Structure 1
Amino acid sequence: MPELRRAFWAISVWCRRTDELVDGPNATYTTPKDLERWEKRLNDIFEGRPCDVYDVALSDTASKYPIHIQPFKDMIEGMKLDLTKSRYENFDELYLYCYHVAGTVGLMSVPVIGIAPKSKASIESVYNAALALGIANQLTNILRDVGEE
């Protein structure tokens, strides 16, 4: 279990660092170019060229588990939306935003969690459930924020 915890920690740290680019104390200084550099750094991580100890943790996780880079890239796309858009015209737009910033976390997690060998669930249904959970969490966060404001 310690290896599993380390893998989740590595994914969580990367997600937190990515979110901090647009929601952290220096977010007002973040530009689309910064996010392009962050995506290049992500590519380096997945190609075994980490930049710092946090990158090393994710690179190690990527080498041990069949995680795919696409959900990580999709999350960066969500952060780009955060830089330019604050209102969504309809639920489809909001759903897409929620996919990018939270549904992706579910997709990142499934390869680490795995599927029980005796499970009758299809891989597709497991990924769909993980995606739905991430989107539901984001919608809940948005609703909580609306209540506070």
Structure 2
Amino acid sequence: MKGDPVRQAERECRRLARSHYENFLVASVLLPHRLRQPFYNIYAFCRTADDLADESATPEAALRALSEFQASLDATFQGHPADGIFLALAKTIPPFRLDQTPFDDLLDAFRQDQHQTRYETVDELNNYCRRSANPVGRIVLRMAEADDNETDLALSDQICTGLQLANFWQDVARDYAIGRIYIPQSELRSFGISESQFDSMASNRSTDKALKRLIQHQCNQTEAFFHRGMPLCDRVPHWLGRSLRLFAGGGLATLDAIRAIDFDVMRKRPKVSKTTQARLVLRSLIARR
């Protein structure tokens, strides 16, 4: 006899979440027990969509897969979920009165990645972050019933944008290898960097002085996002404040890891050590208002 398909879907969501070390720690240690499975369900949606966007064989294949994923999402919010993780998502939507817009924004950003590989200005990149990162924070605030204040939503956006940008500066070489440059073109020109120089740096696995200076500038700008958003930690339920401190601390630790390799991001991908990760979790566990 087959098991309950909803429970099977929830088990799959837990498996996806627990396969990522830091996310498992957050979900298992910092969240109230009643919220763990719902957060697994949301995470599984985001993880699966991200994998469709980045691991499909071609951009065309990714767009087809994301289109099918969008159709399943639409059906789920209409009360007719497809199999798999959408059954778990359908169980999560009603009790938290989740809105579809943030989910749509995420998928829209993933589709954009298939055809836009360059950004002209900082504002253009931040608009991408508004759809690729900020929706996750807004979903979390909704689940915590802490999204009725525009100030809190704006503070959440600051942290989420900071996390997305820190990831970009960490993965400059990796993104370039798949044809993407997230550093705004206007910033590259301002620091005197051409795309042909990227080719040379990628080939030689080295970062020239101009790009190092630019990455340093981007890290300093990104750090300000975290500091502007941190007051949110004291405005939300305590469990969420601890989680936010962990995520923001992880973003700041990523920037520190970039600094620790002297911004040589084309030679080596900077990583936050397991020791630092554990220290961040411990700090979040003992944090008090």
Whole-angstrom distance in 2 between the partners of 1:88 and 1:4: 37
Q: Give the corresponding residue for 1:131.
A: 157
Q: The residue matched to 1:148 in structure 2 has which SS?
A: coil
- Give the TM-score of the pair, scaled to structure 1: 0.87
Equivalent AA in structure 2 for residue 7 of structure 1: P
**Conserved? CA contact 1:19–1:79, under 8 Å:** yes
- The answer to whether 1:74 aligns with 2:100 is no
- Aligned counterparts, 1:104-143, within 5 A: 104-115=135-146, 123-143=149-169
Aligned counterpart for 1:101 among listed residues 132, 138, 154: 132
How far apart are the structure 2 equivalents of 1:71 and 1:99? 10
- Give the TM-score normalised by the residue count of structure 2: 0.46
Give the secondary structure class of the aligned counterpart of 1:84: coil
- Which residue of the other structure, out of 39, 44, 68, is the alignment partner of 1:37? 68
Note if 1:15 corresponds to 2:46: yes
Larger Rg: 2
Do the aligned residues in 2 keep the contact of 1:10 with 1:54 (CA within 8 Å)? yes
Report the residue type matching 1:59 in the other structure: A
1:142 counterpart letter in structure 2: F
Q: Please give the alpha-carbon distance, in whole angstroms, between the structure 2 residues aligned to 1:71 and 1:135.
A: 14
- SS of the residue 2:80 aligns to: coil
Which segments of 5 or more consecutive residues in structure 1 lack a partner in the other structure?
116-120
Distance 1:52 1:122, change over 3 A: closer
Structure 2 unaligned blocks of 5 or more:
1-31, 173-263, 267-289
Separation in structure 2 between the aligned mates of residue 57 and residue 134 of structure 1, nearest angstrom: 25
Residues paired across the two proteins, number: 143
RMSD: 1.8
2:14 aligns with none
Quote the residue 1:51 is aligned against: 82
Amino acid in the other structure paired with 1:64: P
3-state SS in 1 of match to 2:114: helix
CA deviation string 1:62-103 (max 9, x = no partner)? 011021100100111101111001110001110111111111
Structure with more relative contact order (C-alpha pairs < 8 Å, separation 6 or more): 1
AA of the residue aligned to 2:160: G
User: Matched residues in 1 for 2:157 and 2:91: separation?
Assistant: 24
For 1:53 and 1:2, the matched residues in 2 are separated by: 23
TM-aligned CA deviation for residue 22 of structure 1: 1.1
